[in-house]
Structures are given as C-alpha cells and as structure tokens.
Structure 1
Amino acid sequence: MLLGFGNRAFAAVDSLYVQPADTGAGISRVYSQNAKHYVLQPDKAGRKNVLVIFLGGSGSTPSDYSTFAEYAASLGYGVLDLQYPNGLAVGTTCMLSDACFTNLRGETSFGARVAYAPGMASFNSTATLVDADNSIVSRVVNLIDYLAHNASLDRAYWAQFLTANANSPYSTSGSGKAYPNWSKIVIAGHSQGGGDAAFIAMHLPASTPARRVVLFSAPNDSIGGGSASWIAGPSATPPAKFWGMHAQDEGTYGQYVSLNWLNLGGLGVGGPNSLEILLGDFGIAALTHRLVLNSAGSSLTQHDSTAANDPYGRYPEDRVKAWAYLLTANGSD
C-alpha cells in the first residue's frame, strides 16, 4: 500500500494481521481482527534495519494505533503493533501498592516468575496471571520468528531482529531459544503500553540496552504523589535513549508523567533530558527529549491524542511532526 499523510506520500509498505496463537505454542488466541498483531514491512527502497515495537494502552487493540504504526513504517521502520495482555488498568489496579506496579509490569513484560536472563530478577503479580508464553517479550520473539519463516515476506530482514541464545527462557518454533535484538529495536508505547516499554528497557541486561525508547503519555505510575519506585530504579537503557510526548492537560490519565520523566533511572536522573518544550515552540536545534502537544478537549481526549488514531481520521500536522522527531531526533535512527 502507498501511505499518505497530509499532502505527503511515502514509500510502499506491506502489511498483514497475524493471529498471536499462530506464532507459538501456548500463546492465547484472539477472536477479533482488530486484536491481531499488526505488522508492517517497508519496501526495500529507504528501508531501515531498525524495528519499532509498539504497545497500546489499557484495553486497546493494535487497530487503535494503526495511524502511528503506518507512519513509522512510511519512514522506513519495520513495525510490530503488538497485541499483549493489557486488560487491567495499571493505575487503578495498583494505586495503593508500590509493589503492585513493579510486579504487574514485570509479569506482563517477562512472564510470571520468569528471569529474563540468569541472575536477573523475576516478578509475580497477585493482580494478573501472565505466563512466560504470553508475556510481551515472548510474543515479540515468537512473532519475529514467525515473520522470519514466512515465505511471503523478506525473511532475512525479519531474522536480524532476533538473537539466538540458549539461556533465553523464550522459545520459538523456528529459531529455538532467542531474545529480541535490542540493538536494532525502538520500543514505544502509549499510556499503559508506554509504562511497559519503559519497564522493559530499564530491566534488560546492561550489555543489551534498547536502541531507543519512545513514551507517549507515560509512565504515570505514582504512589502518594511521587514516582513509583521502579521508575527511580536503575536503568539498563541510558536516559539519553528515552524520548517522550504528553498533551497539555491529561488530568488523572497523565498527571505524573512529567515527574516520572524527571526520575526515570533514578531520582532526578532525567535532568536535561526531561526539559519539556511545547510542540509549537520547539526546533531541531533544541534537541529536547520531551515534547508537549498542543491539544484540546477532555483530559481523556488529550491523553489519547499523543498516539491513538484520531476518531475522525485526521492526521494533524503537529502530531506527525512530533512522531518523526521522537523516532529520529539526534540522527541515530
């Protein structure tokens, strides 16, 4: 398909929806087309050897973020708009328990009682039950493996985003035990998905940080008006690799995002990377890591405006400009 945003056209992109259960044993089946993984493979011309993994907000499906996914693909990125266990609203579920935030996000990301690598922490939530197969990381490696063995796609292109490793707790049918190749992966997400993206990037081995992290209206985890403790914990992915955007007035959906950006990786560690600039005022020379979107409407409308599809099918120029900046700023991608 040929993608168009505003009056601009971009290169052709192949797209397909993938049933999660078809990618690996033990992965749950979905019963809606909208809830299937949405995969985009850019044309070879202008293709980047970089993959964007996108995680949507609470109760969402990949179809709710197809505009962002298609725009990222139009820039040359491979894109996995992932369906994952996101039925619980993390903020509501864990609002009175700091440990709940850590364990719920950890289990969703890596699986219940699963250590990502030998010697690393594992997580066990009393609020949810996500086994190793259905964790975010397992779904990522199994989906990549599925694509790397799909004769209708560029199999070598997808294979580069997996790293075989006998120590991995995540098994695939075609590539065996494997990890995502984080050196080639941008992990991004909105709302709950943004919190999970940050959590994963922070809890990888120090030797394999994520290439880039892009957070939309996230994370918002807070206890007593302060950042949840996992946010201020050490991060395997350096703060300089984190980028983000929120809207001007997201109310309770995003009231702690600015504070959490400042504290990601340690209290106050965000520092200069957390300087926020209103989208209409920023320039490339500023190289800020944090944008604030001019937005209107209810707090939920503003919260969704940073990444979710516009209900009227519009592609606001300021939002597209921000997406491009957050994915490419500093020239590394």
Structure 2
Amino acid sequence: MNTFKLIFETERMKHYIFSIIFIFLFHTYSSAQDVDLLANSNVVLNIVPSKTDARINKANTPHFVTYNPAIKQGKLLLFLPGTNGIASRGPKDLFSTAIDQGYYVINLSYINTPAIARICKGNTIIENSNCAEEFRNRRVYGTTTFSLISDASYDAILNRFTKLLMYLSENDEKGKWDHYLENGQPKWEEIALAGQSQGGGMSAFIAKTHRVARVIDFSGGWDYSAKNKIADWYSKKSITPMDRWYGTYHVKEPVAATILKTYKAMNIPEENIYAFDLEVPEGKKAHSNGIRNLAYKDQWIALLGKGN
C-alpha cells in the first residue's frame, strides 16, 4: 500500500512539474497575444489592431505576424493585402518562403474597402484627376483630407504599422522588434514592402517617398487620372532606388496590359517584371494566382532576394 502511494505521489508530482513548465512556456510565447509555435519553429502571432491603438474599431481583424527565431534576424517583409483581404488568410506559402529567405513577416490588417477603382472613375476623375493619389495618401498616411472615403487618420496604414511595431517591441521580447524602429518610426531601410492588388499599389506608393529595402508589387492596381490614362503618381520620382523595384502580373488577368503600363511608368527594370503564365486552377482567379500558386516558389525567391 505504501509503495502504491509512493508511485501515485511521484506521478502526481511529475504531472504538476510538467504543468508548471507548460504554463511558463505558454506565457513566454503568448505575451504578444494569440500565439502558436508551429512544428517548423515559426512563431505566429495574431494581434487585433485595437490592442495596439484603442481608437481603432474598423477593420479590426488580426494582423498576422510570423518569424523563425532560429534563423538569423534579417529584414522585415510588410505585406499589404488587396481589396477585401483578411490578413490571417494571407498567402502562407509565400510567407514561409520569405521566412526561409531570412525575413520576418507582417501581413497588415487595414481598411481595404472600397477599392480605388470603385471611387476614382467616371465623372469623379473628370472633376479631380488626382483622385487616386489623394485616395492613397489618405489611406496610407491619414494626414490629408479626402472626402470620398471615411478612413480616420488613426486608421491609416502607417499608424497601424507603427503601432503594431511598438506593441511587438513591448510584448514580444524574443522577436527583437526594436530592430525595425528608429525614433518611434519604422526604420524603412530594414523593411521590404510587398502587396497584392490594392496592397501592391499601396506598397509602391509608400516606396515612392520612403527608401525601403525592396518593393514587390503583385498585380498592383490600375489607377487612372482620366479615361484610358493611368494616374500621374506612377510617373513620380522614387526615393527607393529602381533596382529595388519588382512587379508581377498574370498574363490572363483582364487588366494585365494596364498593370504592365503602370510598371513601365514607374520605371521598374524590365528584368524585374515577372509575367506569370501558369495555368490557373479552375475556380481560382488569375489576379491572385501569383501570390497563391506554390509552383512560383522559384520566382518568389528571386523576387524576395536574401532577407539577411
């Protein structure tokens, strides 16, 4: 009887110790909220924007953050989804490839509706040829007025991104997020931009005025300043050197020719423009195939380069 009791107490103590260790590890990896440590050692964090700025109440689905702490820390890839995009449903294979290339990854949750093409068209661009540029300025920086969308200043992409970096810096010590901040602002030289559709255009728009590590525009929109005339902002001078610019599109996209025209207007080097042409699976769209189709992994690696 005493032997049985000793065995029972020993097993109970082992279970207690295991529970303490589990709680400690869970607390360590969940300090930045809703964290998974995947089998491949990638840390995944899902952080609602209102946690980083209490004023935010629109587009409050989680930011998606992932990195591998076992890989030498490199550049940060900030990805901006397209219209109706949900950050947590982003292109995971592309993100895994980016991590393997040495990147930390953030897929940002931001207000991405309505699309620019739904607002800046018809009589609107006849009356205001700068509609698309003013729209993007409001959505990216929040410091200009634009009455045709209701985005608050704190809803701007820049504010959401900056507040997320500050939150991560305070709550995910393991991630060493201070590396991407400088005087309370994003350290752009350590940040690569990428995005799909509207998000690709937003990435390009930011790269025009900030010197970023790299910018990858996946089928990034088709802004107009007049009928059949692409928006003037595409031709504006870029602070980011042109050899850091990349653009992709699928040859079967309905607006492929217009997307290519915007890339040429932005002076993206011809060798940095990728015309994807693999067959699009039934029920899928050519427009988003470039970020979803794992068969493009070799092209993704070339587009991303080495993050560290």
What's the CA shift string for 1:222-271, capped at 9, x where partnerless?
A: 3332320111112221222111211111003x43111111111xxxx44x
Question: How far 1:300 sits from its partner (Å)?
Answer: 7.1
For structure 2, the residue ranges without an aligned partner over 5 or more in a row are: 1-36
Q: Which has the larger radius of gyration?
A: 2
| Aligned ranges 1:37-116 → 2 under 5 Å | 37-44=63-70, 46-67=71-92, 68-96=94-122, 97=125, 98-111=129-142, 114=143
Which of residues 135, 140, 159 in structure 1 aligns to 2:161? 140
Q: Which amino acid aligns with 1:136?
A: I
| Aligned ranges 1:255-294 → 2 under 5 Å | 255-264=257-266, 269-270=267-268, 273=269, 275=270, 288-294=271-277
Highest RCO, 1 vs 2 (Cα 8 Å, sep ≥ 6): 2
**Between structures 1 and 2, the one with greater helix share:** 2
- Distance across 2 between alignment mates of 1:64 and 1:13: 17
Question: How far 1:139 sits from its partner (Å)?
Answer: 0.6
**TM-score scaled by structure 1?**
0.73
Residue 42 of structure 2 is matched in structure 1 by: 13
- Distance across 1 between alignment mates of 2:116 and 2:59: 21
Is 1:302 aligned to residue 286 of structure 2? Answer: yes
Question: How far 1:66 sits from its partner (Å)?
Answer: 3.6
- Distance across 1 between alignment mates of 2:58 and 2:198: 22
Question: How far 1:332 sits from its partner (Å)?
Answer: 7.4
Q: Which amino acid aligns with 2:276?
A: L
Question: How far 1:26 sits from its partner (Å)?
Answer: 1.6
C-alpha RMSD over aligned residues? 2.2
Which of residues 316, 319, 328 in structure 1 aligns to 2:294? 316
Residue 246 of structure 2 is matched in structure 1 by: 243
Residue 125 of structure 1 is matched in structure 2 by: 146
Give the secondary structure class of the aligned counterpart of 1:320: helix
Give the secondary structure class of the aligned counterpart of 1:245: strand
Contact 2:194 2:203 in 1 (8 A): yes
Question: How far 1:202 sits from its partner (Å)?
Answer: 0.7
Matched pairs, number:
264
Question: How far 1:295 sits from its partner (Å)?
Answer: 3.0
Identity %: 24
Regions of 4+ moved over 4 Å: 297-300
Q: Which amino acid aligns with 1:199?
A: F
**TM-score scaled by structure 2?**
0.79
- Distance across 2 between alignment mates of 1:90 and 1:211: 26
Contact 2:102 2:307 in 1 (8 A): no
Contact 1:72 1:79 in 2 (8 A): yes
- Pair 247,299 (structure 1): closer, same or farther in 2 beyond 3 Å: farther
